[in-house]
Amino acid sequence: MRIPSFLSLLAFRRGAWPLAVLTVVCLNSCSSGGSQTATLPLPVGHYEGSISYQGTDRRVALDLREASPGKLEADLHFPEEAGSSFAAANVRYKEPQLQFEQQGSGSNMSVTAIREGDFLRGVFTLDSLKAEFVWARRGQAAPRAYQAQAFAVRAAGRTERLTVFVPADTAVRHSAVVLLAAGPAAAPALARADMLARQGILTVLVPFAQPPADADSAALQRVAAILQALRKEPSVDSMQVGLWLRGAGAGALVAAAGLAQPAATFVLLENVPATTAAATKPFQQLSRQRIPVLAYYAAADTSLNARESARRLRSAVGARRGSLVRVFPQATADFIVPGRLTAEGKWTWPQPAPEFTEGVAGWLRQRRAR
């Protein structure tokens, strides 16, 4: 750097040399530019905006919170669609880029955005669909609808540490559902646990390394022990503790509902194949044990014959004590009605199957009201 002429003069004056050096050092450090950068706070807050595809808008709200120092958590909402809110997965932020995905969904949904002051500008991706957006920060993030808490269970001679989702509402005690996350059912179980907790139902995920091929005694005892332990939790209504199972592995684990003492209050069955007498047999015991069942199917799930399974399962579990078997028309395996063009050529966004969230949560509330 060239020293200005007035500094050169100062340098030759007696006693001024230290001042000249200090001044030059200051000028050099201040003009270097890249030696230090300001650390920006995380982009926490409540954001609102929309996404648009083929002329059809969809309102969006995003809550970004600092879950722990330097770590974000995110909830995405579609305010015009009941039951569509969810906790985002794999939330990553590296200034200025934010990325996250939807957890437990059969579709590939992701968001990539750049922070620009109080705005997020980016791309919303759903399978092959892409929509650009700009969302504006509108104040502080709303708290999540539930809290994750530790839950320790003693089973088979060892202590297992699980996580319960406790609704953050005013209720003192909640109905509770134990969701068995075995094999292909693991991702849907997480999505369902999030969905139900937002509806005021306490949920706990029970992971399995792989689904049992047959009725495994150790696996059944483990599930029964978890059901029994959950009844003792202060935030749980001990008279309303049930089991959730999904898919082909459900038949090997459903016996745990009756093995627990007392037995499970209810059982939820999701997309359970039951097109043969052998496949249906494990669920007949629920009727004999007078355990109410809500079984529901996605009509467009190509992994099974939903209507035939529903017909056979309806005969197996009966209609006593409020048991119900439902088929949701046009719904894919994750209970989403796909986006499509109407006869008028207008795009309709994918959305949760009508009455799905309300139907499942409402049935559970009716159990408690009896």
Q: Is residue 229 within 8 Å of residue 153, measured between CB atoms?
A: yes
Tens of pLDDT, residue by residue over 177-223, are: 999 998 888 889 999 999 999 999 999 999 987 777 676 788 899 99
> Is 9 part of a structural domain of the chain?
no
- Tell me: do 218 and 84 sit in the same domain: no
Q: How many domains does the chain have?
A: 2
Give the rounded percent of residues in the chain with a pLDDT score beyond 90: 74
The CATH number given to whatever domain includes residue 175 is 3.40.50.1820
> Is 312 part of a structural domain of the chain?
yes
- Tell me: do 133 and 273 sit in the same domain: no
Q: What angle do CA 111, 114, 116 make, to 5 degrees?
A: 140
> Is 4 part of a structural domain of the chain?
no
- Tell me: do 176 and 267 sit in the same domain: yes
CB under 8 Å to 354, separation ≥6 — which residues? 328, 337
> Is 7 part of a structural domain of the chain?
no
Residue 27: pLDDT band with limits 50, 70, 90: very low
- Tell me: do 177 and 298 sit in the same domain: yes
Q: Is residue 244 within 8 Å of residue 226, measured between CB atoms?
A: no
- Tell me: do 319 and 352 sit in the same domain: yes
* Angstrom distance (rounded) from CA 203 to CA 7: 73
- Identify the domain containing residue 123 by its residue range: 45-137
> Is 31 part of a structural domain of the chain?
no
> Is 28 part of a structural domain of the chain?
no
- Tell me: do 324 and 212 sit in the same domain: yes
Point out the domain boundary residue: 95, 115, 137.
137
- pLDDT for position 26: 38
Cα of 208 vs its chain's centroid, Å: 18
> Is 83 part of a structural domain of the chain?
yes
**Average per-residue pLDDT in the chain?**
88
- Tell me: do 195 and 341 sit in the same domain: yes
Point out the domain boundary residue: 116, 137, 158.
137
CB under 8 Å to 129, separation ≥6 — which residues? 53, 339
- Tell me: do 327 and 358 sit in the same domain: yes
> Is 159 part of a structural domain of the chain?
yes
Helix/strand/coil (H/E/C) assignment for every residue in 133-163: EEEEECCCCCCCCEEEEEEEEEECCEEEEEE
197, 151, 149, 75: CA torsion to nearest 10? -40
Tens of pLDDT, residue by residue over 109-142, are: 999 999 999 999 999 999 889 999 999 999 999 9
- Tell me: do 309 and 168 sit in the same domain: yes
Tens of pLDDT, residue by residue over 225-276, are: 999 999 999 999 999 999 999 999 899 999 999 999 999 999 999 999 999 9
Q: What is the mean pLDDT of residues 79-105?
A: 91
The CATH number given to whatever domain includes residue 99 is 2.40.128.120
Point out the domain boundary residue: 83, 107, 137.
137
DSSP 216-238: -HHHHHHHHHHHHHHTTSTTEEE
- Tell me: do 125 and 153 sit in the same domain: no
* Angstrom distance (rounded) from CA 28 to CA 4: 12
- Tell me: do 130 and 54 sit in the same domain: yes
Q: Answer yes or no: is pLDDT of 320 > 70.
A: yes
CB under 8 Å to 8, separation ≥6 — which residues? none
- Tell me: do 74 and 103 sit in the same domain: yes
Q: Is residue 45 within 8 Å of residue 141, measured between CB atoms?
A: yes
